[in-house]
Structure 1
Amino acid sequence: MLASPDYQHTLVLEPTPDTYGSWWRVSSTPWGGWHASFGGNTPVEILAGFTDALVHTPPADEPDIWPRLRAAGWTYERDDRGNEHARHPDGITTMERRANLTSDHFAWTADVALPTGLGGHQRLWSAYFDDRTPRHLIAGFAAALIDPAPVSRGRYDVPHSHLVTQVERGAQGEQLAAAHDARLKAIRAAARRARRSSPPAARPASAPTTEATRSAARNR
């Protein structure tokens, strides 16, 4: 588990035998906060679109998700209840904001599923966001979802390889390691800038103080 320096957000990874379950969970810890979850097969680049937005300073204006998807060629529908639904041209990937059948509480979901040929679908991965999730975080996820840039994968590490085109090019070996290191440095710098621009938050009472920690260490 990871916790933000102000103890306002947590990131938990709990792998389960079911790769389609909620392996990754991100939430805000104050009472009445928000939460999001991602299945084990969620591509790391798409998960990073959400977590990268989490460590950046929120924009002044709340972004609208649907125009981004429509600009990328997705179809968009809205019904009388306010449910919204967008689908990628390939028919495999969908994103929607829908109310529960028994209430007006909305939630966001993204699904990638292949038709089985028997009228059903085989889910590859999914993501969930409750409606309190800040829109700039969902926008970061959506931007990564529609990003056409190629991603790096091992030749035999791609499930459903008939859906993708693989070519031998791009960074290799030490270049990949250097790019990963540069990315970590950029994210840490962004997190420091966000902390400096945010008002100081009180540490929770449950968090041990430095003096208490030292005292416990001396008594062992």
Structure 2
Amino acid sequence: MKKTQWQQWSGEQAEQHYLVQPRALAGGGDVRHVSEFLRASGWRDKSKTGGPLLVESPDRTVRVAYDPYILPGGWTIHGRTGTNGEWSAHLGRQTPVEIVAGLTDAVSRPRSAHAPSVWAPLQEQNWHTRFADQNYTATSPDGAAWMQYRQGVDGSAMWWTGAKDEQGNGWTAHFTPNTPMHLVQAFSAELAGPDPVMRPRGRVPHSAQIRTWSVSVKPSQLRAWQQARITAARAATWARNNVRSTRPRTTARPYTPASRARTRH
């Protein structure tokens, strides 16, 4: 038996994928990158068969939905907090799932004790910042992506972000002003991330502003990378739940940081 025949029969024939940079223009990607991590973190799947994705946090304070069947479609994250009331984020359907996961992963983890800064991750990647007309804006070095805090004359405000190539292809997203800042920071960190993201053949956007590298990947490799992310989520969830169940009621709750789960392609 030839080696190529054995690979085909065993399901281990390498498949062509592409590393895409900048990540902000890589297209939507596989929704399971977001949903499987949340399920592994103990979130409840509220999706209807054949319908849009809907998952709910264990404490029922946050819902993450993805609906590709309506226009314009995309992601909606809605939450409730004791101090800021309700908040929401709306992200276009072509928002790369790796960037969406920056926000949704952070929702599933304990909040850091450090004061958040939305602009810090952008400045670390040499984004250009400017202040004009009550708007504070950061733009990526290649000009394709932006993050803006907008304030209207009536006092209304929101976070507005997105990415577009020279042909106008891309996505936009906005967050209500009371969205917890550590979540917006987690999103901006992934938005500005310098690492390329992986897309299968046929799922790479047609844009003169992206750079691609062809790579051969076996199905088992893809499954291993996906499983590593899921395993990290389960381990972090188990550790948090175990600490809660074994902690004496008379002692104060210590802060237990959770390591950031991220699969690098």
1:124-183, CA deviations, whole angstroms, 9 ceiling, x for partnerless residues?
111111111111111111111111112111232111243222223375311111110110
> Is the CA contact 2:158–2:175 (under 8 Å) kept in the aligned structure 1?
yes
3-state DSSP of counterpart to 2:208? helix
Q: State the Cα distance separating 1:192 from its structure 2 match.
A: 4.4
Instruction: Describe how 1:99-118 pairs up with structure 2 within 5 A.
Output: 99-101=151-153, 103-116=154-167
> Is the CA contact 1:25–1:37 (under 8 Å) kept in the aligned structure 2?
yes
Q: 1:79 to 1:161 in 2, by over 3 A?
A: closer
> Is the CA contact 1:107–1:128 (under 8 Å) kept in the aligned structure 2?
yes
Q: 1:127 to 1:170 in 2, by over 3 A?
A: farther
Instruction: Describe how 1:38-187 pairs up with structure 2 within 5 A.
Output: 38-79=91-132, 81=134, 83-101=135-153, 103-116=154-167, 122-169=168-215, 171-187=217-233
3-state DSSP of counterpart to 2:174? strand
Q: State the Cα distance separating 1:80 from its structure 2 match.
A: 6.1
Instruction: Describe how 1:29-44 pairs up with structure 2 within 5 A.
Output: 29=80, 32-44=85-97
The equivalent of 2:28 in structure 1 is none
The equivalent of 2:64 in structure 1 is 11
User: Gapped runs of 5+ residues in structure 1?
Assistant: 117-121, 199-220
3-state DSSP of counterpart to 2:230? helix
Alpha-carbon distance between aligned partners in 1 of 2:68 and 2:119, rounded to the nearest angstrom:
31
3-state DSSP of counterpart to 1:152? strand
TM-score normalized with structure 1 length? 0.77
Alpha-carbon distance between aligned partners in 2 of 1:136 and 1:193, rounded to the nearest angstrom:
22
The alignment-based identity, stated in percent, is 32
> Is the CA contact 1:155–1:166 (under 8 Å) kept in the aligned structure 2?
no
User: Gapped runs of 5+ residues in structure 2?
Assistant: 1-53, 245-265
> Is the CA contact 2:129–2:139 (under 8 Å) kept in the aligned structure 1?
yes
Structure 1 moving runs of 4+ over 4 Å: 192-198
Give the strand-richer structure, 1 or 2.
Answer: 2
Q: Which structure has more RCO (C-alpha within 8 Å, separation ≥ 6)?
A: 2
Letter in 2 for 1:188: R
Q: State the Cα distance separating 1:14 from its structure 2 match.
A: 1.7
Q: CA RMSD in A?
A: 2.3
1:24-68, CA deviations, whole angstroms, 9 ceiling, x for partnerless residues?
111114683111111111111111111111111111132111122
Alpha-carbon distance between aligned partners in 1 of 2:191 and 2:63, rounded to the nearest angstrom:
23
Q: State the Cα distance separating 1:77 from its structure 2 match.
A: 1.1
Q: Name the stretch that deviates more: 132-141 or 188-197.
A: 188-197
3-state DSSP of counterpart to 2:69? coil
Letter in 2 for 1:88: S
Alignment size in residue pairs? 190
> Is the CA contact 2:165–2:209 (under 8 Å) kept in the aligned structure 1?
no
The equivalent of 1:216 in structure 2 is none
Alpha-carbon distance between aligned partners in 2 of 1:154 and 1:140, rounded to the nearest angstrom:
26
Alpha-carbon distance between aligned partners in 1 of 2:216 and 2:108, rounded to the nearest angstrom:
28
